[in-house]
Copies of this chain bind each other. A is one copy, B any other.
């Protein structure tokens, strides 16, 4: 049986002091229902993605389910740090493929800006290994700075290559009305930004945000519009050690390579066939490693890949043409679902100014923590 995406909805990402987490969820849900052209009664269950510890309101699945008026249908939450949204999508896929449910709503939602940046950094540090690593002061920027330094050392990747990722993603983010930062940046401006963790500077880092996105997944026989459905044909997932010190190297994420291999195999697709991709650019180096881990280019060639604009529309794979985490913002529970909404929109040809022409196969690459979790999903328009 194939599982199809029949509806997508995406709220505005950014500092959303105007809305609670359940209100953010509702904003995306309403759009997804309308897009799917179904009534709420058609929904059998919901899977909610969020990292609860950033919210004053815990039990996020419960508060969202009530606010969407979906009681007494089952709901549950998946959490794998920044990949929570993709874990929810994969779980919904399983719920349908198992025959237990036929139409499942996926809600990715997150409020982060209730907390100060320092509090968020401290909480995120605890998403690293606490006993042996974060206790010594590692934070997410410092982990990714190590990845960047090693990549630069081994492969000659330059600081400009990193920032070229930011320039691309801001370029496309400016075209996305739901993005947090809708402004182009120049390489000069990026170069001049303050250092965060050398070599990463402000423009290498995505921003904490609030926001929500929704998908409606349906069993093949419940797909109501064959002209608009996008099939979710591959749901790959893998893990790597929390301890970065136990990794074989620091220039890629083994979990992402493995998840990609699974998804390509399941969907019977090769990397060369992917036309549009959303990859997890929490830091610019992460997008460069993603090009390599996903097989878009060979190991060590990621710097050249962005430099030669092969990940722009018109290149080999249009990557993060919604702005990516960098320009769109990264409300961690929502991100994986947001990625999927963009791929569906692209494959339908509905992406307007940022449309990648002729895209029929799309991919999402969503990483949790510092690569202890990766999810790679493949979408296809028949």
What per-residue 1/0 map shows which CB atoms of A235-257 lie under 8 Å from chain B? Answer: 10111111100100000001100
CB nearest to A65 among chain B residues: B239
Number of copies of this kind of chain in the complex: 2
A89 shortest CB reach to chain B, Å: 11
A220 within 8 A of B: no
- Stretch from A72-80, A221-229, A269-277, A305-313 that touches the partner: A72-80
A368 to B199, CA, bound (A): 45
Residues from chain B with a CB closer than 8 A to the CB of A254 are: 71-72
A238 with B94, Cβ < 8 A, contacts A65-B372, A80-B61, A372-B59 known: no
The dominant DSSP class at the A interface is: mixed
A93 shortest CB reach to chain B, Å: 7
Residues from chain B with a CB closer than 8 A to the CB of A94 are: 91, 94-95, 97-98, 100
Instruction: Report A142-187 residues with CB < 8 Å from chain B CB.
Output: none
Q: Pick the residue among B53, B66, B76, B81 that contacts A80 (CB under 8 A).
A: B76
* Max count, chain B CB within 10 A of own CB: residue among A59, A77, A258, A373: A59
A90 to B101, CA, bound (A): 12
Residues from chain B with a CB closer than 8 A to the CB of A63 are: 129-130, 242
A residues near B (Cβ < 8 Å) are: 20, 45, 51-53, 56-59, 61-63, 65-66, 70-81, 87, 90-91, 93-100, 123, 126-131, 235, 237-243, 246, 254-255, 258-259, 368-369, 372-373
A87 shortest CB reach to chain B, Å: 4
B66:A241 contact, CB within 8 angstroms: yes
B78:A76 contact, CB within 8 angstroms: yes
A57:B130 contact, CB within 8 angstroms: yes
10 A-B pairs closest in CB distance: A97-B98, A62-B372, A74-B237, A94-B98, A94-B94, A57-B130, A76-B87, A98-B98, A59-B127, A58-B126
- Can you spell out 17 A-B residue pairs with CB atoms less than 8 angstroms apart? A52-B52, A58-B127, A59-B126, A59-B368, A62-B81, A62-B373, A66-B239, A66-B241, A66-B243, A72-B239, A76-B80, A76-B91, A78-B78, A93-B100, A94-B98, A97-B98, A97-B99
CB nearest to A69 among chain B residues: B241
